[in-house]
Amino acid sequence: MTTTAQITPDMTMEQILEIAPSAQRALFQRYHVGGCSSCGFQPTDTLAQVCKDHNILDVKEVLRTIHSAHEADSKLQVDARTVKGWLDAKEDFSFIDVRTPEEWELAKIPQAELIDYDNPGKYMGLPKDRKLVFSCKTGMRSLDVAAYFVGHGFTNVFSMRGGIDAWSTEVDRSIPRY
């Protein structure tokens, strides 16, 4: 298994994002790289090339940024069995599915609520220490949403690793996979 410590400047962005998906968000937040067409990069670009193209001189600092973001994201992730345990223990938390309504119709975890994108105040108004667990199909979109909430001062935020796919294979096989 490759770790973020093994990321090197000569690796392609595709390789880096496979190891540390949080690198995309971290590069955009810190350096405004990779968020739009004017600051984007190609999957085949090396990290060294991306740094050069965006006038980032300290490649080692970029590597530290990627590593730190990956560590922070790892702390946000919780596995499906743990979430099931919290539900079984009747812990008080918000279990929020961030998929589209169309995906929700294909498969859903009964205890989760579909996010209401039309009413963001519903969530931003929650107490900052409220336990929030986000889920999606594979755990990537929910990780982005969890990081967003952390960035807005929430302190007890999680993303369900593997999303509903993990729930379907590890907790409840009756939930269809798509």
pLDDT tens digits for range 116-147:
989 888 999 999 999 999 999 999 999 989 98
- Kindly give, in sequence order, each residue whose CB lies less than 8 Å from that of residue 59, ignoring residues fewer than 6 positions away: 9, 47, 48, 51
- Kindly give, in sequence order, each residue whose CB lies less than 8 Å from that of residue 52, ignoring residues fewer than 6 positions away: none
Q: What's the rounded mean pLDDT across residues 163-176?
A: 97
The answer to whether the CB of 14 falls within 8 A of the CB of 43 is yes
The answer to whether the CB of 98 falls within 8 A of the CB of 113 is no
Q: What's the rounded mean pLDDT across residues 72-92?
A: 96
* Domains located in the chain, CATH noted: 4-75 (1.10.3910), 79-170 (3.40.250.10)
Q: Give the DSSP letter of residue 177.
A: P
> What is the structure's pLDDT at 176?
95
Top-confidence residue, 87 or 30: 87
pLDDT tens digits for range 8-65:
999 999 999 999 988 988 998 899 998 777 788 999 999 999 999 999 999 999 999 9
| Cα(81)–Cα(123) distance, integer angstroms | 24
Residues with a catalytic annotation lie at: 136
Query: Phi-psi region for residue 90, left (φ > 0), alpha (ψ -120 to 50) or beta?
Result: left
